[in-house]
Chains A and B, each alone.
Chain A
Amino acid sequence: MFLADVVGTVVSPVQIPELERRTLLLLRPVTPDGRPTAKTRVGVDHVGAGEGDRVLVLDEGNGGRQLMGDPQAAIKTVVVGVVDYVEREGEPCYDHRSAAPPARLG
């Protein structure tokens, strides 16, 4: 799993059946202190997250299929948690109450 900032939403009127009625979020993987760290992903929301939230993302097929309750679902990127607080070596490095919203990439 990794941390990501939800930076947007994806509207997809035609898609594989397992994705129907699911919310797709645009995710920017980040380090615990908020620096972009990997490729932008599209994830299936499973917790009611929205733009501006820092979230926990699962990017693995077996877990994804288990969450969707469908052993044949072609889904692997799933948002599985909304992060409140991150601490590194005893020091807080993210607190959702005081964190600035994600900035636009240059």
Chain B
Amino acid sequence: MYLARVIGRVVATVRYRGLEGVDLQWIQPLDERGEDMGGALIACAAVASGPGDLVHYVDGREGALALEETYVPVDAAITGFVEEATVLGEVLDRARYIDGPAGGRA
């Protein structure tokens, strides 16, 4: 699993069977400093979340297992809403992951 912040949502009306009603979120993986780590991706929301939230997600086959219908073509799913992450005794700076390193919301 990885940490990420939700930066947006994706609407797709035409979907594979079994994915009806599953929210799609646009997420940016984060490293332990709260900075962007690699490229952004789309994940299914197994747990409700929205833009600005800090979450954890699982990738690979396990992404589909997190959903109600598990035989679906999904390779990333949000597995939890993160209230707080502590790194070396300090709380991960919320301003950093909400606003991003550039200081502006994506």
Contact = CB atoms under 8 A, between A and B. Distances in A.
B22 interface: no
B47 A14 contact: yes
Interface string B13-52: 0000000000000000111110001100000001110000
B58 A75 contact: yes
Tell me the dominant secondary structure on chain A's binding face. Answer: mixed
A15 B81 contact: yes
A41 interface: yes
Given A40-B2, A74-B46, A74-B66, A102 B88 contact: yes
Given A16-B66, A105-B32, A76 B58 contact: yes
Nearest to B38: A39
Contacts of B98: none
Interface in A31-80: 39-44, 51, 61, 64, 72-77
Contacts of B92: 8
Contact of A76 (B37, B60, B83): B60
A105 B33 contact: yes
Most chain-B Cβ atoms within 10 A of its Cβ — which of A10, A76, A104?
A10
Contacts of A61: 60-62, 65
A8 B80 contact: no
Contact of A72 (B37, B48, B60, B65): B65
Interface of A: 7-16, 19, 24, 26, 28, 39-44, 51, 61, 64, 72-77, 101-102, 104-105
